[in-house]
Structure 1
């Protein structure tokens, strides 16, 4: 038996290949699972398919040699080719194959966002959970993959709780929101003005709205465009000519226009700040070239960050996440070892049960002989003897049971020896 993962991701395959191999709906994944579970050698299967990766996790049934494992790999490749109507040669070189320990460690890294394009991003854990739930609904998992997927989600939870891998923002828009939160404690009472319609600015606006901001204003040189964006964000469109007046009553300003010059100047803010009674105002200038005069940052209670400032924050946070990733990897390795301790213990269970059954059979036979020989003994004494013999069997069985359950290099030899020592093979024959 073996655990195998076959897949490709953003590190190994370009997007045009990932698109061809992706399962683009739950229905497609369900159909694929139904087909795969019927294939020879595949006992359990889970498919994870996102924009950045496609991976098939398989627990092979009744496969114990390298040749048959390779046959399972070829079966999966042929399936991908037929299902997606693509020649194997188009994607085969982009695939990676991990087995057993490497397969488990890889899954735990994936679930913990250690293998993501942006390390620490939280979405992948939910995607792994959803993939597992789809497999559960199609009954393509059983004891092994059920336990494996649950341990993967548990490992991801440990990484999230025991490290700071997801704490620091690593996108420009998230970094902008993080800086704003350092200036303003309660965002729900603040107002925000979006100047222009740049994609990153809109993304930052979405994050801020998600953080509680309700008073949203939008302005653009084309007023119709401002109205369209305002409708999308439940905000208010402001004529571009009223920019200065709007700055008087706005706490946060995000600029992202295509203007080749400063839209907000130092002189403009010198006039605006007294009207604001010098209350703090925060500018995020994501425009290139810049839309807010850098000299504005010299004014009291004016906080200005441009795209380079935000990128510095992002780069610093990426380094911090990499440090935290080292801690996370130790958790992954620890949980991988625990999984295989559990898996190896399963191999010992039938032997342990057989030994205990044989010991119990011998005990019962001897008890019956004893009772037949001493028929006049009181029931209380018989019960005490029965309890005593059970206790003796349990104490004798303790050391062999622990030895068989423990993980070791020569586990197969130990199991074989136990079967021979207790005469289990001859009985089965």
Structure 2
């Protein structure tokens, strides 16, 4: 694919790490909570970056933005997380311009997800965009790119079956419970954390385990009560966490903390206890696995579970890639149009100046000169001339840069650039 010019001084980069090379511990060091994200965006704005997206999920952290050099973005990430530049370099990827654009399309359409076809990322991408927009970091390029990725995602969802069948982190966790815990409908289940993954897991638990012994605990009790009310479940206070863990058979941890919320001293299992940690960074201390009667399973282990559903989804990848190609081509065309728009605008202005001078001359020379009619006719001619130039520049087989240079030279144009 041709390398398209994006910005005169800066390039568009994606810098990041994901589940493919970075384990949960490393991803945890580079995860970004809401407060850190806000701080990062404000820091970027202060360093004259004019377009930036920050995405941080359980299986990836990425910055997509304009910079003179990718190190600007890497420094922003390391300044606002617990990770170092050295740790980042060991597992990172850096994409530039077209490669960065293509990567974001694959991420946003579920093709790069830890579980193929998991479309959770698109709502996270939307949140990233609104965060950037609030602080003035969603320039027209970022806005159009996000909208194009969302469009591709919608089309893939409706035109292919890549997300058919229930497969997500929440579903994988429930499948694991069903396979490993006998008589699950009779067991006590404790869900700690009622964010998005917690809510989805709760719905999957109710749907697939037929269990009514589910207890919810959240630091903010009213959030847990809203979900409990929907499904008629029990809610306990955060202070009851230790007591509830002692009586439960399955503990699902879906908290969004930056450090472990379940430590060894909270767990005293008198009977077998399965703990599923669905958080990144890990919210269950690793040493909890040393306790007798405890089985600890982390998100990464769950995501490696493959089944017939996932295998079936793979056949729809080529179809999804074709849709991405179509939407990406439209985005690139828009990008090229933006590139020559200032020249077309300057050309129109120059032709209008020439027109005004000529009409002024003719009105003095011809006694019954109809200036209004002449104005309408000449405006239409200018419109047709500029459209002709624009259509020429859109042609895929021409060198747009050379044509733009020639047009500016012939008409001696003063092009306004931002």
* Normalised-by-shorter TM-score class: 0.5 to 0.7
Relative to its length, the structure with more helix (as a share) is 1
Cα offset for 1:324? 1.4
2:25: which partner in 1? 16
Stretches of structure 2 that go unaligned for 5 or more consecutive residues are 1-6, 176-182, 192-197, 215-227, 235-270, 273-304
Structure with the bigger RCO (C-alpha within 8 Å, sep 6+) is 2
Q: Partners in 1 of 2:124 and 2:190 — Cα distance?
A: 25
Is the Cα contact below 8 Å between 2:15 and 2:95 reproduced in 1? Answer: yes
2:54: which partner in 1? 47
Does residue 356 (structure 1) correspond to residue 348 (structure 2)? The answer is: yes
Does residue 28 (structure 1) correspond to residue 36 (structure 2)? The answer is: yes
Q: Mapping of 1:211-226 within 5 angstroms?
A: 217=212
Cα offset for 1:45? 0.9
Cα offset for 1:177? 9.8
Find the structure with the greater CA-based Rg: 1
Does residue 118 (structure 1) correspond to residue 78 (structure 2)? The answer is: no
1:393: which partner in 2? 382
Q: Partners in 2 of 1:204 and 1:58 — Cα distance?
A: 33
- Report the 3-state secondary structure (helix = DSSP H, G, I; strand = E; otherwise coil) of the residue aligned with 1:97: strand
User: Scaled by the length of structure 1, what TM-score is found?
Assistant: 0.64
1:341: which partner in 2? 333
Task: State which of 373, 376, 380 in structure 2 corresponds to 1:384.
Answer: 373
Is the Cα contact below 8 Å between 1:345 and 1:406 reproduced in 2? Answer: no
1:328: which partner in 2? 320
Cα offset for 1:80? 2.7
Task: State which of 100, 121, 132 in structure 1 corresponds to 2:97.
Answer: 100
Does residue 84 (structure 1) correspond to residue 81 (structure 2)? The answer is: yes
User: Scaled by the length of structure 2, what TM-score is found?
Assistant: 0.66
* Change beyond 3 A, Cα 1:199–1:10: farther
- Residue by residue over 1:111-143, the C-alpha shift from the partner in whole angstroms, topping out at 9 and shown as x without a partner, is 111110001112111111111111112222221
2:158: which partner in 1? 161
Is the Cα contact below 8 Å between 1:171 and 1:314 reproduced in 2? Answer: no
Cα offset for 1:168? 1.6
Q: Mapping of 1:284-299 within 5 angstroms?
A: none
* Change beyond 3 A, Cα 1:317–1:393: same
Does residue 196 (structure 1) correspond to residue 187 (structure 2)? The answer is: yes
Aligned length: 314
Is the Cα contact below 8 Å between 1:44 and 1:140 reproduced in 2? Answer: yes
RMSD: 3.7
- Report the 3-state secondary structure (helix = DSSP H, G, I; strand = E; otherwise coil) of the residue aligned with 1:37: helix
* Change beyond 3 A, Cα 1:146–1:4: same
* Change beyond 3 A, Cα 1:82–1:383: closer
Q: Partners in 2 of 1:195 and 1:426 — Cα distance?
A: 74
Is the Cα contact below 8 Å between 1:101 and 1:336 reproduced in 2? Answer: no
Stretches of structure 1 that go unaligned for 5 or more consecutive residues are 61-68, 179-191, 220-230, 237-256, 259-312
Is the Cα contact below 8 Å between 2:342 and 2:415 reproduced in 1? Answer: no
1:5: which partner in 2? 14
